[in-house]
Amino acid sequence: MTTIWELDFYSRPVLDDRQKKLWEVLICESPLDVKAQPDSLFRYSQFFPNTEVNSVSLRSAVEAAIAQSPKFPDKVRFFRRQMNNMITKACEEAGVPAYPSRRALALNQWIEERMQQYYPSLPNYQAGSNPSVALPMLAAQTLPDALMGEKWALVTLEARAFDEMLEWDISFSEAFPPTMFGVSPDTPIPGIIIYSARAVPLAAWMSGLELAYVKFKSEAPAQLILQTGANDAWVLSNLPTPALQAEAKGFEMTKQQANHIHFLAIQSDANSESFAGFWLMQELNLA
């Protein structure tokens, strides 16, 4: 089974003896299916002074994590685009490919927990924000003609429905337990299903994009946008009519009520009992 790590290397709101911010490496295992047990997912952390913020230090931390982990990672995801060169170099030198990705759900949750509970308990804690550097988002690209769906539909499933997801017939997928992110079993989870005669090639292509989230863009031209990787975006569908735009607004409202959790599915047609692709996602504000 594939093992994916999520990694962050950044300054924290804690000062060292020189009154300089400490930096920290956080590494955690991604939950890859709805049966993932949060307590069994691997975690590793290590502080560094700001004088040791380089790829050599990061590589040593990655290698230490590998030595402690029961499973060698197949790849590493990271969301801080301004750290791209250092993280990519360190991970590749440690023998693990690294990919910019906003699909860092477990890592984001862990950082939030440490910001609220762990760092304030440390000596020399310095309250205040610790923002990353936000880079401008790229304009959404048009999907290749061969990968355009013929139809799509916005639907909802109760969170408990995903308990059976491992038994579904799916060619490409990635998921996580919705309850791990504060969603009750009876919460409606919104999603979009794309129907395509080329469902499997479309799902295979999307599986390599580091899917982040689907977003309704209300500004003209109104569109459903798929965000991928660290900064990429794709137009899933144009929404030229008020009826379609109202449906997309409903999708966004339901998504907010589900802690921004939603899904993207791909099928050959509405009568199919299998999925070419199915991904659970959560929209996060990662810089």
pLDDT of residue 285: 82
Query: Residues of the chain with pLDDT > 70: what percent?
Result: 96
The answer on 176 and 90 residing in a single domain is: no
The answer on 220 and 109 residing in a single domain is: no
The answer on 177 and 213 residing in a single domain is: yes
The answer on 151 and 102 residing in a single domain is: no
Residue at 174 is within a domain: yes
Q: 195: domain range?
A: 141-282
Residue at 114 is within a domain: yes
- 102-158 per-position pLDDT tens digit: 999 999 999 999 999 999 999 999 987 555 555 666 789 888 777 778 899 999 999
- 226-253 per-position pLDDT tens digit: 999 988 999 999 999 999 999 999 999 9
- 106-119 per-position pLDDT tens digit: 999 999 999 999 99
The answer on 163 and 117 residing in a single domain is: no
Place of tokens 């699909």: 103
Residue at 241 is within a domain: yes
Residue at 154 is within a domain: yes
The answer on 154 and 110 residing in a single domain is: no
Residue at 88 is within a domain: yes
The answer on 106 and 30 residing in a single domain is: yes
91 has pLDDT over 90: yes
The per-residue b/e assignment along 234-248, b for 16 or more CB within 10 angstroms, e otherwise, is bbbbebeeeeeeeeb
The answer on 113 and 29 residing in a single domain is: yes
The per-residue b/e assignment along 162-197, b for 16 or more CB within 10 angstroms, e otherwise, is beebeeeebebbbbbbbbbbebeeebbbbbbbbbbe
The answer on 198 and 96 residing in a single domain is: no
pTM: 0.93
12 has pLDDT over 90: yes
Which residues, at least 6 apart from 104, have a Cβ–Cβ distance to it below 8 Å? 6, 8, 77, 78, 79, 284, 286
CATH of the domain at 52: 3.30.420.10
- Which CB contacts under 8 angstroms, 24+ apart, belong to 56-62? 56/90, 58/9, 58/25, 58/86, 58/87, 58/90, 58/91, 59/89, 59/90, 59/91, 59/93, 59/94, 61/9, 61/25, 61/27, 62/7, 62/25, 62/27, 62/90, 62/91, 62/94, 62/96
The answer on 186 and 73 residing in a single domain is: no
The answer on 79 and 112 residing in a single domain is: yes
- 67-90 per-position pLDDT tens digit: 999 999 999 999 999 899 999 999
